[in-house]
Structure 1
């Protein structure tokens, strides 16, 4: 019986969904209802950032401060036959329960700022 209980507990732990390593991981968009075109959600997961027509590998993440809300990222990107490097800042706005609600992306090379809402909250 102990073996059965141990096996069930192990199965439950290994089949549970993995928690995001960083609060900026998830699905983000200006409008989460848009399913096609260049405003589709940006997906950040598994060490990658998936934009509309490009994909970036996250090469390095460095936390900014101690608030667990901002990070400097080094990205290696490719898309439409080109490759490039990006230096960006990701910051999250947290809700009352500490859940990430909005992602602010600052391109530290070109100087533009984007804000997207969280699409994959249940």
Structure 2
């Protein structure tokens, strides 16, 4: 589970999620939440400064400090789950939905 300090409450639990197919051995649509990190196919971000979004369940707004493909950047990122366990990730001008992959463990991704 993501450990939060400050004004944030519960955030989405650690897990592996995929936009298309959890059973595929490799997927560029796979996302892993583990501790204070969210990892994509070729990018990993450290999630900092969590703030709960009042009235939105586990929705938490972070600063994401990211590295990938030879670049480094920092951006605001909203992470939440919806009914059914799907992970929703929202950034500046984009949003993605990922289904949970219960047979995959974050420590093995």
| TM class, shorter-length | 0.7 to 0.9
Gaps of 5+ in 2: 3-10, 105-109
Matches within 5 A, 1:104-119: 104-107=88-91, 109=92, 111-119=93-101
CA-CA distance at 1:36 after TM superposition = 1.6
Equivalent pairs, count:
95
Instruction: Work out whether residues 12 and 59 of structure 2, in 8 Å CA contact, stay in contact via their aligned partners in 1.
Output: no
Name the CA shift for 1:73/1:116 in 2 (closer, same or farther; >3 Å).
same
Higher mean C-alpha deviation, range 111-120 or range 20-29: 20-29
Please, which of 34, 37, 44 is the counterpart of residue 48 of structure 1?
37
Aligned to 2:107: none
Q: Are 1:90 and 2:79 an aligned pair?
A: yes
Larger relative contact order (CA 8 Å, sep ≥ 6): 2
Shift of 1:34: 2.1
Q: Which residue of 2 aligns with 1:63?
A: 52
Between the aligned partners of 1:54 and 1:68, the Cα distance in structure 2 is 27
Structure with the larger helix share: 1
5+ residue gaps, structure 1, are 1-19, 96-100
1:57, 1:76 within 8 Å by CA — same for their partners in 2?
yes
**Per-residue deviation at 1:37?**
4.0
Q: Give the number of the structure whose alpha-carbon radius of gyration is greater.
A: 1
Tell me the C-alpha RMSD between the 2 structures: 2.0
